[in-house]
């Protein structure tokens, strides 16, 4: 999904509106802004999914930690174009696409986590049993004695 959002963002902004964007790092030397946005979006989503899987097995509240990590990661990738160029308009357009990729990745993975994470079963609580009090072996009597 993240790769598709990057692809659509570049096609709409550069192809339809004829505006230049700040390209992200071209990790596979494709020479294409469109491919760079799609590949970097896919890598972002895969890394986010790996982090979520790690958090699920190691963290008491994985969705909360994942949410904070996604806020920070999305903020980072959103402001990076401003560090790479002095053209404010190009940086804003790139930041919008990066923000859309981050929010989509976060919301989709958080939804998956909600459906897959099950709370651990709680241990049964033992109640003290004594004379006249119902215990694990004595069923409660109705009406209560007393």
Domain ranges for the chain: 2-25+32-116
Instruction: Give the mean pLDDT of 76-81.
Output: 96
Neighbours of 67 (CB within 10 A): 15
User: Has residue 41 got a pLDDT over 70?
Assistant: yes
Distance CA 129, CA 132 (A): 8
pTM metric for this prediction = 0.79
pLDDT at res. 92: 97
């Amino acid at each position: 999904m993240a790769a598709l959002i990057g692809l659509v963002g570049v096609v709409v902004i550069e192809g339809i509106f004829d505006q230049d964007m700040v390209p992200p790092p071209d990790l596979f030397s494709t020479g294409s802004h469109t491919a760079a946005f799609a590949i970097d979006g896919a890598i972002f989503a895969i890394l986010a999914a790996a982090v979520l899987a790690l958090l699920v097995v190691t963290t008491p509240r994985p969705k909360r930690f994942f949410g904070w990590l996604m806020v920070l990661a999305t903020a980072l990738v959103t402001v990076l174009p401003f560090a790479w160029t002095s053209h404010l308009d190009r940086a804003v357009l790139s930041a919008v696409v990066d923000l859309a990729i981050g929010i989509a990745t976060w919301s989709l993975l958080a939804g998956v986590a909600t459906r897959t994470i099950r709370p651990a079963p709680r241990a049964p609580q033992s109640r003290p049993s004594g004379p006249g009090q119902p215990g694990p072996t004595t069923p409660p009597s109705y009406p209560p004695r007393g």
